[in-house]
Each structure stands twice: as structure tokens, then as C-alpha cells.
Amino acid sequence: MNKIYLFGIGLLFLFSCGNESLPILGNREVKVIQNGNAETIDTIYQTIPDFQFQDQYGHSFTSNKTANKIYVADFFFVTCPSICPRMKRNLLKVNEAYGADSNFLVLSHTIDPEHDSVSVLFDYASKLGVNHGNWYFLRADRSYTYELAEHAYYASAIADSTEPGGFVHSGGLILVDQQKRVRGIYDGTNAAETDKLINDINILMHEKN
């Protein structure tokens, strides 16, 4: 008779062997399957849950569109006077490197949907010069976005009237692989970190192949 045991393990940074590999971030469960005297072990990693947003074109954007794709996620707001402009300049570099690749996406989530309407997001993307169809600017209910940021992407977003722009949020660029697992978080305001992100995307491209 087969017996299956599940062991819950907290937030981990799991490194694969070899130089050309990236960590898998998040929670995991180790599944031990007992079959007579033999045991097999499988590891179940945390993945990004299903989601639904509205993009800058007014269309529904669901997690189905990320299937089998590598993507970079970030959290921002259009009127941000502090870190967002630097983050977007660095994301433009990432998009220049991989924007023409149909297996790659960028997902930028607004944390201020009350102001950042579909038309505002469309104008913002146009002014940035986003001309590839793989960079989506997404909006949803604020609490829904905040929960996804914290529990799936290890990012933070808090409304704070004492801060410039009225919000505090992390500046991470989050790299997600084809199996919807977080593989890296990079400082979106730092040029060297952006270069590392670009290199790590290439590693995942080869990992897929």
C-alpha cells in the first residue's frame, strides 16, 4: 500500500546545484511516498495563485496568460514621486532585452487603482514608450492587489498619507519562472541589480530549454 506523508516547511531560499541555476523562493512541502520498503520523495513548491486584473487596454488579464512564460512583476503607482520612475527606467532596460520574446512578460501592478484608471495606465505606458505587447499595466481592487503582493510576491504596499505620493511600497522586481515559482527579487532602483536580473532571465530561458 502506498503511504504519503507531507511535511510543511517555512519560507526558504532553495538553491539548486551548479553555477547556472537560481534559487526557488517560498514555502514548500516535502512529500514522501511509501511503497512497501521503497520511498520516493517529491517537493511541492509555492506558486503564484490564480489571479485576475484589468490591463491598460481595458481587457481582462488572468493568470492563464502567464502559463509557460517567464515574467517580471512589480508594484507601482502613476503619481509616485520617489522610486517608481527609477524602477520603470530599469524595467525599460529589461524590456529592451527580452520584449520581443513571446515567452516573456512584464506585469506592473498599480497600488492606487482609484487614480490609475485604464486610460491613465494606457497614457502612462505610452509615455514610457512601451511598444511591445508583452508589458501589461494591471489594476484591481486595492486590497486584492495588496494581498497578492504580500503573500505571493513577497512585496509590500501600504497607504500612508505622511509619505510623498501617499503610499509606501517595496521597489522589488520579482522574477517568476514558467512553473509560476518566484526565482529572484531584485532592487528595481539599482542598475547593477537590473543587470543581474537580465542575466538571470537568460538563465531561466536556458533552463526551460
Q: What is the pLDDT of residue 160?
A: 65
Rounded to whole angstroms, the Cα distance separating 47 from 50 reads 9
Asked whether residue 72 falls in the same domain as residue 159, the answer is yes
| pLDDT at 200 > cutoff 80 | yes
Asked whether residue 39 falls in the same domain as residue 106, the answer is no
Q: Structurally, how many domains does the chain consist of?
A: 2
Rounded to whole angstroms, the Cα distance separating 153 from 143 reads 15
The pLDDT tens digits of the residues spanning 86-133 come to 999 999 999 999 989 999 999 999 999 999 999 999 999 999 998 668
pTM of the predicted model as reported, rounded to 2 decimal places: 0.84
Asked whether residue 76 falls in the same domain as residue 16, the answer is no
Asked whether residue 64 falls in the same domain as residue 27, the answer is no
| pLDDT at 209 > cutoff 60 | no
Asked whether residue 136 falls in the same domain as residue 172, the answer is yes
Which of 28, 45, 62 terminates a domain? The answer is: 45
Asked whether residue 134 falls in the same domain as residue 191, the answer is yes
Instruction: State the DSSP H helix or E strand holding residue 109, giving kind and residue range, or none if neither.
Output: strand 104-110
The pLDDT tens digits of the residues spanning 14-42 come to 433 345 789 999 888 887 776 777 777 77
Asked whether residue 74 falls in the same domain as residue 142, the answer is yes
Instruction: State the DSSP H helix or E strand holding residue 29, giving kind and residue range, or none if neither.
Output: strand 24-35
Rounded to whole angstroms, the Cα distance separating 35 from 37 reads 6
Asked whether residue 92 falls in the same domain as residue 23, the answer is no
CATH number, residue 61: 3.40.30.10
How would residue 4 be classed by pLDDT, with cut points 50, 70 and 90? very low
> Cell numbers at residue 82, please?
520617489
Give the full edge-to-edge strand order of the sheet including 70-76. Answer: 135-138, 104-110, 70-76, 172-176, 182-187
Higher pLDDT among residues 161 and 170, named by residue: 170
| pLDDT at 64 > cutoff 90 | yes
Q: What is the pLDDT of residue 172?
A: 94
Please give the residue range of the domain that contains residue 30. 2-45
Asked whether residue 123 falls in the same domain as residue 173, the answer is yes
Asked whether residue 41 falls in the same domain as residue 56, the answer is no
Q: What is the pLDDT of residue 128?
A: 93
Asked whether residue 161 falls in the same domain as residue 194, the answer is yes
Asked whether residue 76 falls in the same domain as residue 162, the answer is yes
